[in-house]
Structure 1
Amino acid sequence: MLTRRGVLAAAAGSLLLAGCGPQGQRPGDGGTSSAPGDQDLFVGASLELSGRGATLGVFQRRALEITAESLNRTGIQVGTLLRSIRLDIRDNGGSPEVAARQAAELTRAGAQALVGGVLGETAAALAAAAQRLKTPYLSLGYGDRIVLPLQERTFSFKLTPDGTDMARRLADLLESQRIRRVVLLAADGPHGDSGVRAVRDALDNSRVDLVRTVRLPETGRNFRSAAERAAAGEPDGVIVWGTAPDSGDAARELRRAGHRGPLFFDAGAVADDTVSGANATAVEGAYAVHPACLGGSPLTATSTAQVARQDFDRRYTQRHGTSVAFAPYASDALQLLAASARKATSLDRGRLRAFLQTQMAEGIAGGYAFTEGRHGGMEADSLGVYLVSQGSWTRYA
């Protein structure tokens, strides 16, 4: 039987490899002509390159740059023209107000699409701004409400996993580990809000008892008090729902508060910062639900998706010295925009939005199936479970 995952895998070639073209081809070859610079696909990015969120934002900037260069080697076929991607990447410093202002500035400058927001707060601000501006926006942040309610977010698309899917995977893991009493320690803001709703719903249908929910204070505040409340009563395990660097800080404070049981993270925790330095001992043996791309590409690529992942990983390693360890959502965002421009045969913002919501494809980070009634996020079967072993994220299930 043809499964939903099989359909996504079959679509991978059109998303991931459409920009590769014949060897040696350049814009202008093959009976088409190159578009002038003012007719590029102009993508504006608002990312956390400093301050709160920089742990994840810097990796997404690198993914954008590598993927834009790859696509521009052959150009993007839009009607009879081969177009290039032009990036304008700005630092929002983790501020929702700055992110919203940048969305307006980039749109006025001619951006046909927006990408960014690794934090739930900045992503939500960008989504609201994109709706006012009628500019397609691809979110890299966590929080289900970024694209909900849909009638108020018709121009927004979320690439990160949905909280409900991560929570269900965690509930299954908790049951398999015979965890019976668990505490949820959730970040403040939209991402934490999604986690609270999703974990409660998932555990209601399981044999695991959610003893209590404790919310972390804002980033930069002392987490000790929240960790002490979470560790009280010696729960069998603690779910930490947040993004790096908060996840590692929370784990460290939980150990100081006396929690010796296992820790369970959502995908937002997965970063080098979480498993290194002062956090290393605290998180050893912890589990995380994360897109399966964290395991890297096999040595022998057997699908177009694996070929594309291998190529991306090679380019990233050559440039930055290490393999990319975290889901390169920004790379998928550019590929989705390029595929939409090809199908739309236009760079019109409205047409790009219309074709984005028909995309079903396998990306670098995982599978996506956008529809008119669903603008996010990643497909549930793209997720895997990872174990922190000797300071590394190791595939567990």
Structure 2
Amino acid sequence: MLTRRGVLAAAAGSLLLAGCGPQGQRPDDGTSSSAPGDQNLVVGVSLELSGRGAALGVVQRRALEITAEALNRSGIPVGNLLRSVRLEFRDNGSDPEVAGRHATELTRAGAHALVGGVLGDTATAIAVAAQRVKTPFLALGFSDRIVLPLSERTYSFKLTPDATDMARRMVDLLETQRVGRVALLAEDGPHGDSGVRALREAFASSTVDLGRTVRLPAGGRSFRAAAERVAAGNPDAVIVWGTAPDSGTAARELRRAGHRGALFFDAGAVVDDTLSGANAKAVEGAYAVHPACLGGSALMATSGALVARRDFDYRYTRKHGTSVGFAPYAADALQLVAAAARKATSLDRGRLRAFLQTQTSEGIAGGYAFTADRHGGMEADSLGVYQVSQGSWTRYA
């Protein structure tokens, strides 16, 4: 039977292998010529290169630079011209107001598409501004509000998994492990809001009891009081729903507060910072739901996807010394923009948006299936379960 996953597999080559040819070669069929410098594909990027989101933002910048370099080896055929990608970076300092302002400034400066926002609130702010200036935006943050309601987010597309899919996978895991009672510690803001809502829906039809729900204070303030409230209920397990560095800090405070049971993270925790020295003991043995591209193992259905993942890992590791599980979102975002430009035969922002919402492709992080009615494109069966073992993320299921 032809499955949705099979359709993604069939489409994989067009997204993943672009820009992966031998260095220096450019397609030559006698019909294309290089575009002048002012006609390149300009992608405006607003990232958390400082502030709370820097642990995620810095790896995204690296991934974008690596992917742009790969694409520019052969060029992107758009109409009868070969174009290069030009990235324009801005540091939003993890400030939503600054991130929203960047969307407008980058569009005025000539950006054809926007990428960024690794935190839920910064990505949501960019989405609001992108709608106003009618510029396609590919978000790297976690929150359903980035692309919902769709009538107000027609120019925004989310690369990360939907909260509903992560919650269902997490509850399935808890049922398999026969956990009795769970508490939830969720970060403040739109990502935490999405997690609370999705988990309550998932637990409603589960044999596992969702007990106390506590929200972390905003702005990275002390998590001690919140952790103590959770631990006081003596749950069998605690779900920490948040992005790094909050995830590791929350785990550390939970252990200090006396919680000795299991810990479960959503995909926002999967970055080196969560496993760092200060957090290492607290997170050992913890579980995370994350796209199944982490640590070289994958649910990828095609050889093209595996080749692209290995190529990305090789180039990232060679340049930066280690590969990071969160990084492929940005690589996929840039490949999706390039693919939309090829299909649109134009850099017109409206046409790019129209072709982005028809993308069905297998990326490095997982499968995407954007439609006019669905702009949160990560497929549910792209998700896997990982466990921290001896300081590393290890595939569990």
TM-score bracket relative to the smaller structure: over 0.9
Task: Determine the C-alpha separation between the residues in 1 that align with 2:277 and 2:311.
Answer: 30
Task: Determine the C-alpha separation between the residues in 2 that align with 1:30 and 1:288.
Answer: 50
Does the aligned pair in 1 maintain the 2:212–2:233 contact within 8 Å? no
| CA-CA distance at 1:302 after TM superposition | 6.0
Task: Determine the C-alpha separation between the residues in 2 that align with 1:93 and 1:351.
Answer: 31
Greater CA deviation, 271-280 or 145-154? 271-280
Greater CA deviation, 14-23 or 351-360? 14-23
Q: What amino acid sits opposite 2:142 in the alignment?
A: Y
Match of 1:222 in 2: 222
Task: Determine the C-alpha separation between the residues in 2 that align with 1:302 and 1:191.
Answer: 32
Task: Determine the C-alpha separation between the residues in 1 that align with 2:295 and 2:94.
Answer: 28
Task: Determine the C-alpha separation between the residues in 1 that align with 2:233 and 2:115.
Answer: 43
Where does the alignment leave 5 or more consecutive residues of structure 2 unmatched? none
| CA-CA distance at 1:27 after TM superposition | 6.5
Match of 1:329 in 2: 329
Match of 1:86 in 2: 86
| CA-CA distance at 1:276 after TM superposition | 1.7
Q: What amino acid sits opposite 1:310 in the alignment?
A: R
| CA-CA distance at 1:76 after TM superposition | 0.3
Does the aligned pair in 2 maintain the 1:185–1:214 contact within 8 Å? yes
Match of 1:270 in 2: 270
Task: Determine the C-alpha separation between the residues in 2 that align with 1:132 and 1:325.
Answer: 32
Task: Determine the C-alpha separation between the residues in 2 that align with 1:188 and 1:262.
Answer: 22
How much identity, in percent, do the aligned residues show? 81
- Cα pair distance change 1:326/1:374, threshold 3 Å: same
> Secondary structure of the residue that 1:274 maps to in structure 2?
helix
1:311 aligns with 2:311: yes
Match of 1:343 in 2: 343
Match of 1:149 in 2: 149
Match of 2:385 in 1: 385
The 5 Å alignment of 1:77-226 reads 77-226=77-226
Match of 1:62 in 2: 62
The 5 Å alignment of 1:11-26 reads 11-20=11-20, 24-26=24-26
Does the aligned pair in 1 maintain the 2:115–2:138 contact within 8 Å? yes
Task: Determine the C-alpha separation between the residues in 2 that align with 1:218 and 1:254.
Answer: 17
Does the aligned pair in 1 maintain the 2:24–2:73 contact within 8 Å? no
- Cα pair distance change 1:191/1:389, threshold 3 Å: same
Deviations 1:357-384 (A, max 9, x none): 0000000110000000000131000000
| CA-CA distance at 1:232 after TM superposition | 1.3
> Secondary structure of the residue that 2:371 maps to in structure 1?
coil
1:395 aligns with 2:364: no
Per the normalisation by structure 2, the TM-score is 0.97
Where does the alignment leave 5 or more consecutive residues of structure 1 unmatched? none
Does the aligned pair in 2 maintain the 1:27–1:33 contact within 8 Å? no
Task: Determine the C-alpha separation between the residues in 1 that align with 2:22 and 2:161.
Answer: 34
> Secondary structure of the residue that 2:97 maps to in structure 1?
helix
Task: Determine the C-alpha separation between the residues in 1 that align with 2:192 and 2:129.
Answer: 22
Task: Determine the C-alpha separation between the residues in 2 that align with 1:178 and 1:333.
Answer: 38
**What RMSD, in angstroms, separates the aligned Cα atoms of the two structures?**
1.5
Per the normalisation by structure 1, the TM-score is 0.97
1:248 aligns with 2:248: yes
> Secondary structure of the residue that 1:306 maps to in structure 2?
helix
> Secondary structure of the residue that 2:74 maps to in structure 1?
coil
Greater CA deviation, 273-282 or 116-125? 273-282
Task: Determine the C-alpha separation between the residues in 2 that align with 1:77 and 1:22.
Answer: 17
